[in-house]
Structure 1
Amino acid sequence: MILVYWMIFLSVPLVSSIDKMLTVYGRVIGVESSQIIATSLDSCLAICHRQSNCILAFLNSVGHCSFFYNNTTRIIDVEEISEEKNQVVGFKCSLPDQSCPRVLSNATLELPVLNVFWRKASNGWKLIKCLDGWRLFDRSNNSYVCMKFFELSFGSSRLVAESVCIENDSKLSGVANSKETLWIRGKLTTGDWDGAWLDGERKCDTSEPNCLNYIWSDGYTVGNEALANNLFSPNNTATKQSCLTVFAEKGPHLNAVSCTNYKMAVGVMCGYQLK
């Protein structure tokens, strides 16, 4: 497949990365744009680059430029095609200063400010993004999870937390690593011991007071990397404090709490997996 690259740089001082328009011969399939104009390729790319919420521009063979924005959809498919078809797609992405990947499949195409990732597909690329207001996490098992913190009335139960997630078409979410845990902790701005409900429940024998055998029910969290050296379990009673919260204390950020008698919840972390 023949590829062509157009690099457009922001007019800003030196920084660690710059937003650029990286283009390929291709077309957008499966979704229509609400904004289409007749223009040149250079103008098509420049307009998208200037608009902070534009993530992709597509110029078809008759010179019609379509723009796609961060709130357009959660999925955009880009199909790579031959140069002879004279159709070009421009991805907006963040790359290190002055860099240009020689082969597009080697590039990590992402726009962190807008929670946008582009994943290589068999015949092109697929946009990966969350709904507005949700945070995208790229997990090590090659899955993408969208998470959002919802405030709760002080002392809300785990059942209430689960219902809030269901009402928002998501699930009570587990955590996969310290990056996610710290992000959630940053949402807690009240007392040090106030917490946010998480998925995960310990299934332990009474002879294992500090076991980390947490069972995740959200369908996308695996392993216990987030728990290692980061779990506060003061009573050493795994069978009584079997559920999890994130709390704002400066030490360990995960707190083992009672599934039914915890009275310090101020929020819940909900999530869903992008597929």
Structure 2
Amino acid sequence: MNSNIVIFCLLLPQVISVTKLIKIYGEVESGPIPTPIDSETDCEDSCYVDSDCLLATLDASSQCSLYSFSAATTELKVIRTWEDTGSLVYFKVSLLQCPSSFNDVDLIFISETGERYNWKKTEYGFSFERCRDGWKEFDRSSGVSVCMMAVSILGNVKKAFAQEKCESLNGMLIGLETEEEAQWMSDEIKRLNKGTRYWLAGERITNSRVFNCTSTDFNVNWDDDGMTTGSDIMKNQKIASVSCIDKYPKGNPENCFATNGDPLTLNDVKCDYSRVNGAMCGYKLY
């Protein structure tokens, strides 16, 4: 299907100038159950004035349906259709100006709390899904979007127990990739105020066994989470305090990772270390 599709950009005077409706010929392929709107009610207005409205559809029989942001923990898939289907889709988005073509569309929804959420482009349209309640979304440079939750655990636990805790929440231990994530993790540990060190995913696979690591010691295997890539964060002196081995005479290797509530968020620890009070859990959204 090509992108020769008409796009209309609609703006009502009662909303701020960056909030618009993008209208295309399309339909919802799958998603949460929508709220039907009486046929005598204006479909576009209904979505605009409803702060929880993410998307509105108007089918060929003039039935309007609203899809809410709060229900979008189930993936919402929209596919493009041709004009002769008579089916319309209205995206509520934040844009400074209307796109000139479908290929230029960058759909961003801003929630009531001011957080930004991106629609993902698919082969035939768009897809939207937000994190489950209590989880925080982060978009990574690899194109992967992840959801994270800081989970406090009573007592001191080893990494395996932390992984089990994440799995019980339908997630897994997740690695640290960006400064934004590091700041959020630090803030969450302080907010929870239940321990100061939480387990992360990842394990170093090269270690010179010399105290104070060099750049050659930052080769990390992230296979235990499948979402994190690279090791640049290990070299970020504002975030990481890594040493490769501990300070004891035996020089035990520190090949696993934990995050702290301190400014230097990322720390390497022994993989059988137990003085840890929580877990950074995550799951892949896209």
Q: TM-score, normalised by structure 2?
A: 0.82
Task: State how 1:1-275 maps to structure 2 within 5 Å.
Answer: 1-8=4-11, 11=14, 18-31=18-31, 33-39=33-39, 43-70=42-69, 71-96=71-96, 99-113=97-111, 116-189=117-190, 194-209=196-211, 210=213, 211-216=217-222, 217-229=224-236, 230-233=239-242, 236-237=245-246, 240-250=253-263, 252-263=264-275, 265-275=276-286
Superposition deviation, residue 45 in structure 1: 2.1
Q: Which runs of 5+ in 2 are unaligned?
A: none
Shift of 1:32: 5.9
**Conserved? CA contact 1:75–1:127, under 8 Å:** yes
Q: 1:167 to 1:32 in 2, by over 3 A?
A: closer
Deviation at 1:153, TM superposition (A): 1.8
- Kindly provide the CA deviation profile for residues 116-172 of structure 1, in whole angstroms up to 9, marking residues without a partner as x: 321122221122422222222221112221212222224333222111110011110
Give the deviation of 1:192 after TM superposition: 11
2:280 & 2:94 partners in 1: Cα distance? 28
Q: Which amino acid aligns with 1:261?
A: Y
How much has 1:27 moved relative to structure 2?
A: 0.6
Q: Separation in 1 of the partners of 2:159 and 2:218?
A: 20
Does the 8 A contact of 2:173 with 2:282 survive in 1?
yes
**Deviation of 1:235 (Å):** 7.2
**Per-residue displacement from partner, 1:188-219 (whole Å, max 9, x unpaired)?**
21779812211011123344541212211211
Structure 2 contact 138–145 (Cα < 8 Å) conserved: yes
CA contact (8 A) 1:115 1:135 kept: no
In 2, the alpha carbon distance for the partners of 1:11 and 1:246 equals 45
In 2, Cα distance between the equivalents of 1:45 and 1:56?
A: 10
Residue 11 of structure 1, CA deviation: 4.5
Provide the secondary structure at the position in 2 that maps to 1:204: coil
Richer in strand (by share): 1
Cα offset, 1:75, TM superposition: 1.3
What is the identity percentage for the equivalent residue pairs of Structure 1 and Structure 2? 26
Q: CA deviation at 1:82?
A: 1.5
Report the number of matched residues. 267
Kindly state the Cα deviation for residue 259 of structure 1 after the two structures are TM-superposed: 2.4
Against the structure 1 CA distance between its residues 157 and 52, is the aligned structure 2 distance closer, same or farther, given a 3 Å change threshold? Answer: farther
Deviations 1:11-56 (A, max 9, x none): 4678xxx33221111111124634212336x821221222222211
> What amino acid does structure 2 have at the position aligned with 1:227?
M
**Residues 234 and 240, structure 2, Cα contact 8 Å, conserved in 1:** yes
Quote how far apart the aligned CAs of 1:236 are. Answer: 4.2
Amino acid corresponding to residue 142 of structure 2 in structure 1: N
Q: When the two structures are superposed, what TM-score results if normalisation uses the length of structure 1?
A: 0.85
192 and 76 in structure 1: CA distance in 2 versus 1, 3 angstrom threshold? closer
Matched residues in 2 for 1:31 and 1:63: separation?
Answer: 20
